[in-house]
Amino acid sequence: MQTLQSKHASEIWSYFADICAIPHPSKHDEKLRQWIINWAQEKNIECVKDEVGNLILKKPASAGFENKSAIILQAHLDMVPQKNSNTEHDFLVDPIQTHIDGEWLHANDTTLGADNGIGMASCLAVLADNTLQHGPLEVLLTTDEETGMVGAFGLKSGALQGSILINTDSEQEGELYVGCAGGINVNVNMHYEKMEVEPTDSAYEITLTGLKGGHSGCDINLGRANAVKVLVSVLNNLAAIPFHLSTLQGGSLRNAIPREASTIIVCDKQYQNSLETLIATLNQQLVSEFKNAEDTLSLQIKSTLLPTSILTNSSQKNLLDCLFSCPNGIVSMDDNFSNVVQSSSNLGVLEQNKTNLRFELQVLVRSQVEDEKQKIAEQISQHFQAHLGKVRKDGNYPGWKPNVESKIYKIMEAQYIKLFDNKPKTMVIHAGLECGLFSEKYPHLDMISFGPTIKFPHSPDEKVHIDSVDKYWKLLIATLKSID
Ligand SMILES: [Zn+2]
């Protein structure tokens, strides 16, 4: 990173090197927080730690800018700790090691923490640089964003004075974010009755694999198959065969589109051939149905050990009917922004608990519009309740409704055109940003989110585009100067 520090004008790389040297995985960002507190003290920068561990640093306006709007610059302190299984790295102790590969800065087989370390470094660089021009400035560094936006949830209303907030946590240079979705979890428990298996029957395992999955918000409009929903429709297509369901499961994360699902069914051995033929045909149909979005989809069947129990006919019918007709995917599109999903739901996890005889489902509903989010969550709840499911909603967080009249957006867009001679893209992200929580606590805030280009965040392949950091910095300081 020393090469970067010497070649590029801003202090971002030097602060980013400091940040990489100090372990700061989510839930363990205290060392970095303390380093920043000490740093601020040395530089005579006012710095307050709040009850949850957020830092608020303050810098007075530069000369002549005392009457300009007060600005909040914001990043999160923590990073996602991910490494490859064969990599030796202790995120609590070891510094992040980096290397340059062409136009990109990578970490050595771990997450880099450019999400949101570059944003954080830019906040420190702005605080430290007395040649910059801007109105009264507050820097908000939130704790544990990556594990449920803990800092943003815990932030007190009244702690910040600024009227404009610039969030640095989005990941594509050339895009300006003006809104984000909120979310709510719908958790469902479906009890079932079981019965014994005919010992002369045979069992078959049907698996659906090779799907792309992806983020349940950002990727929900890509036409990808939801493994659970598709496998349930496969089972519906087997109606000609009198089969019994023993096992059904799929997905592993609420916020990811399920990539795999599997089921074990039981029937008389005489149906084996028809079953195999049917599954092969359905495989072909699915490959063709999803040909634009999935290229490695595979539906397979194989014989397996006879399980000890199966669902009763009525439990089986109830479960399959209810999963088949459960709404899933895009619910509505945003009227003001083309190709932006406004509301969606993702049936992310279906688990079977054989001890307690129940199926446990996790659904995540997202929307930029609070009322619509609540309405969809309630519709899904009622759907499962009508099928005797027990429903619990939790994890509610607000969205950030896009404001087409945003002043900071207009300023930043104008500065972008002036600097780079083309128009930035206006974006709304169908996923959660801390801005949703800020807008709930500070309804008057005019907000924007931007950042340098970061690919594959939250994975050991995370990398940041070096030149995009220069552009990010130029846009940031030009924007700060232009806010009136
Ligand atoms: Zn982030």
Residues in CB range of 44: below 8 A, 6 or more apart: none
What would the pLDDT profile of 21-68 be if each residue is shown by its tens digit?
999 999 999 999 999 999 999 999 999 999 999 999 999 999 999 999
175 is catalytic: no
Mean pLDDT of the chain: 95
Q: How far apart are the CA of 385 and the centre of ligand 1, in A? A: 36
C-alpha 417/C-alpha 410 separation (Å) is 11
Residue 193 and residue 312 in contact, taking contact as beta carbons nearer than 8 Å? yes
What would the pLDDT profile of 197-234 be if each residue is shown by its tens digit?
999 999 999 999 999 998 888 889 999 999 999 999 99
Q: Could you tell me the pLDDT band of residue 141, with boundaries at 50, 70 and 90? A: very high
Number of helices and strands (H, E) in the chain?
A: 12, 23
List 78, 115, 146, 260, catalytic entry: 78
145 is catalytic: yes
Q: How far apart are the CA of 226 and the centre of ligand 1, in A? A: 26
Cα distances from 62 to residues 10, 70, 154, 362, in angstroms, run 18, 12, 30, 50
The architecture of the domain spanning 184-397 is 2-Layer Sandwich (3.30)
Q: How far apart are the CA of 117 and the centre of ligand 1, in A? A: 8
Q: Per the CATH hierarchy, to which homologous superfamily does domain 2-181+400-482 belong?
A: Zn peptidases (3.40.630.10)
Q: Is the pLDDT of residue 465 over 70?
A: yes
Q: How far apart are the CA of 219 and the centre of ligand 1, in A? A: 17
Q: Is the pLDDT of residue 112 over 80?
A: yes
List 29, 115, 144, 145, catalytic entry: 145
Full-model pTM: 0.83
Q: Is the pLDDT of residue 477 over 90?
A: yes
Residue 377 and residue 153 in contact, taking contact as beta carbons nearer than 8 Å? no
Q: How far apart are the CA of 116 and the centre of ligand 1, in A? A: 5
Neighbour-count burial of 131, counting CB atoms closer than 10 A to its CB (0-12 exposed, 13-18 middle, 19+ buried): exposed
Confidence (pLDDT) at 403: 84
194's tokens: 């079981």
Q: How far apart are the CA of 108 and the centre of ligand 1, in A? A: 19
Q: Could you tell me the pLDDT band of residue 386, with boundaries at 50, 70 and 90? A: very high
Confidence (pLDDT) at 9: 63
Domain boundaries, the chain: 2-181+400-482, 184-397
Q: How far apart are the CA of 273 and the centre of ligand 1, in A? A: 51
